[in-house]
Amino acid sequence: MSNLSIGLSAIPVLLVLLALRVPIALALGGVSLVGLLLIRGPNATLGIFGSMPMEFGGSWTLSAVPMFILMGAIAFHTGLTKGIFDAAKVWLARLPGGLAVATNFASAGFAAASGSSLATCAAMGRIAIPQMLRAGYDPALAAGSVAAAGTLGALIPPSILFVLYGWFTETSISALLLAGILPGLLTAFIYALLIIVRCHLKPELAPMVDIQPTFAEKMRSLVDIWPLPLLVLGVIGSLYSGIATATEAAALGAGFTAVIAVVRGALTRKAIFDSIRETLLSTSSIFFVAIGALLLTRFFAFSGVPAFLAEQVSALGANSLMLILGVSLMYLILGCFLEPLGLMLLTLPVIYPIFKAQGTDLIWLGVIVVKYLEIGMITPPVGLNVYVVKGVMGDRIPLPTIFRGVLWFLAAEVVIMALLIGFPSISTFIPSQLLSR
C-alpha cells in the first residue's frame, strides 16, 4: 500500500471512530500514530511523538490561550460580568422583545470578557432566561436567543479559536483577533433585528416589560460594568498601538482583570482557586486535542494527502468562491456532530494547504471557519450551546423547544454568511487599517 493510500484510508477510519464517540484527542492521535508507524517506522514515530508535544506546549504564541482563559475566569468568578444584563435591560427593555435584545448584547459584552461560547451561554442562561420567562416571553424565543447569542464568544476578541487558527496557519493572531470585531458586531445586530421584527409582527412572543427608567437610572446602571469596556479597550488598544503582541495582550488582560477585581474587593481566595482550576482544566483539554491534531498534520504531510487534494482542486480549476462553498457544506455537516475545537483542528490539515495554494486571504478564511464552527454550536442534533441551555434550565424548557428557538437564528446566519463571503472587507477592514500603520 502506498503512503497516499494509507493517508486516504485513515480519513474514513477517523470518521468512524468519531461516530463511535471516541474522544477526539484519542482518535486523532491514535490514527496518526498508526499511520506514522506504517509510513515511517517505529523509530521515527517515537521521535515525532517524543518531541512534538514539548515543541507544541512550549510555544510562546500559544501561551495566549491560558492567559485569555484566565482573564475570562477571573472576570466571571469575581462578578465583573454580573451587571451586564441588568444594564442592557434598562437601556433596551422598551424595544419589541427588549429582554431578548438585551440578552443578545449582554452576551456580546460577556463574550468580550470570557472568549468562550459555552461560558457566555451558561452565564446568560442563568441570568436572562428566568427573567424572560417571568415576563411572559415565549420559551423558544427566550432559550433560543441565549443559545444563539452564545456563539458571539468565538468572534469578539479575545477568541481562543482565533489564537489556535493563527498558530496553526502561521497567520498574525493580532490581525485575526481584530478581524473578528466587525463580524461579531454584525452578527449581534442582525440577531437583534431578527428579534425586534419577529416580536413586532407577533407581540405575544414577548409582552412589553413595564420598565420606564429615567436617564439618571440608565447612567447608574453603567456604574457596575465600567471595568468591562475598560478591560476590552485595554486588550484591543494594546494590539492596535503595537505596544503588545497577542500573547502579551492576553497577559495584560489577565493582569488588568485581577487588578480590577482587587480594587473592587472581589478577588477572594475562592475566586482565585476557582479561576486557576478552570484555567488548568480548560487549557489541558485544548492542548490535548491540539497535540492530536498536530500529529495528524504530520501524518498527512508524510502521506502526501494535502498535496494530492490540492492537485485535484487545481485540476478542476475551482476558484476561491467554489472552494469556500464546498468547505461551508463540509463544516455545516460535520458541525452537527463535532465540537468546534476538535472540528477545526481536524479539518485545517486538509483545507489549509488547498486555500494557501489558491492564494486565499487567510485572515478572511479564519473568520469564515470560526463562524461556521460557531454555527455548529446551535445546529441539531449536537448543538453544544443548546445542551448548555438545557442543562441550565433543567425540565423547565424541553430540548425540542430550544432547538425550535434557534432555527430562526440559523436562518439569520444564512444572511450573515452571505455578507461575509460576498464582502471579505467586513473581516479584513479593521486589521488592514490598524496593523498597516
Which of 58-62, 78-82, 236-240, 353-357 has the least mean pLDDT?
58-62
* 76-87 pLDDT, tens digit each: 788 776 677 777
Angle at 390 between CA 387 and CA 396, to 5 degrees: 165
Q: What is the pLDDT of residue 376?
A: 84
How far is the C-alpha of 349 from the C-alpha of 404, rounded, in Å? Answer: 34
- The rounded mean pLDDT for the chain is 82
CA–CA separation, 70 vs 282, rounded Å?
A: 10
Compute the C-alpha angle 272/103/268, nearest 5°: 15
Span 372-398, average pLDDT: 82
Contacts of 223 (CB under 8 A, 6+ apart): none
| Percent above pLDDT 70 for the chain | 89
At 437, is the pLDDT very low, low, confident or very high (cuts 50, 70, 90)?
very low
Question: How many whole angstroms separate alpha carbon 21 and alpha carbon 182?
Answer: 36
Look at residue 273 and tell me whether its pLDDT is greater than 80.
yes
Greatest mean pLDDT among 120-134, 297-311, 348-362, 409-423 lies in: 409-423
Per residue, the 3-state secondary structure of 61-82, as one string, reads HHHHHHHHHHHHHHHHHCCCCC
Task: Name the band, by pLDDT with cuts 50, 70 and 90, for residue 315.
Answer: low
Identify the DSSP state of 83.
Answer: T
Q: Does residue 306 carry a pLDDT above 60?
A: yes
pLDDT at 312 over 80: no
In this prediction, residues 89-105 reach a mean pLDDT of: 83
* 286 or 187, greater pLDDT: 187
Q: Which three cell numbers stand for residue 399?
A: 430540548
Alpha carbon distance 414, 196 (integer Å): 18
Question: How many angstroms separate the CA atoms of 29 and 292, rounded?
Answer: 4
The yes-or-no verdict on residue 29 having pLDDT over 90 is no
pLDDT given for residue 351 in this prediction: 82
C-alpha cell at position 130: 428566568
Task: Return d(Cα 65, Cα 309) in angstroms, integer.
Answer: 31
Tell me the one-letter amino acid at 8: L
pLDDT in tens, 192-247: 999 999 999 999 998 887 677 777 777 777 777 777 777 777 777 777 676 777 77
Q: How many residues does the chain have?
A: 437
Beta-sheet strands, E only, within 174-330: none
**At a CB cut-off of 8 Å and minimum separation 6, what does 269 contact?**
none
Which three three-digit cell numbers place residue 35?
499511520
Distance CA 152, CA 418 (A): 18
- 190: closest CA among 104, 102, 94? 104
Position 316 pLDDT exceeds 60: no
CA-based nearest residue to 100, from 143, 42, 45, 43: 143
- Report the C-alpha gap between 246 and 239 in whole angstroms: 7
What's the predicted TM-score (pTM) here? 0.77
Is the model more confident about 434 or about 416? 416
- The answer to whether the peptide bond before residue 96 is cis (omega within 30 degrees of 0) is no
Q: Is 291 exposed, middle or buried (0-12, 13-18, 19+ CB in 10 A)?
A: buried
Which segments of 78-180 does DSSP mark as H helices, in order?
84-92, 98-114, 117-134, 139-149, 160-169, 173-179
HSE-CB of 128 using CA atoms within 13 angstroms: 37
pLDDT classification of 413: cutoffs 50, 70, 90: very high
Asked whether residue 190 carries a pLDDT value surpassing 90, the answer given is yes
Average pLDDT over residues 164-183: 88
- The residue that leads in pLDDT, 103 or 236, is 103
93 vs 87: CA distance, rounded Å: 10
Residue 135: count of CB within 10 angstroms of its CB: 18
Percent pLDDT > 90 in the chain is 16
Neighbours of 418 (CB within 10 A): 10
User: Residues 188, 104: contact at Cβ < 8 Å?
Assistant: yes
As a whole number, mean pLDDT of residues 391-408 equals: 87
Whether 436 shows a pLDDT value over 70: the answer reads: no
Instruction: Let me know: does 157 contact 235? Beta carbons within 8 Å.
Output: yes
- Cα distances (angstroms) measured from residue 275 to each of 77, 134, 334: 7, 32, 32
Spatial distance between the Cα atoms of 256 and 68, rounded to a whole number of angstroms: 12
Maximum CA extent, the chain: 76
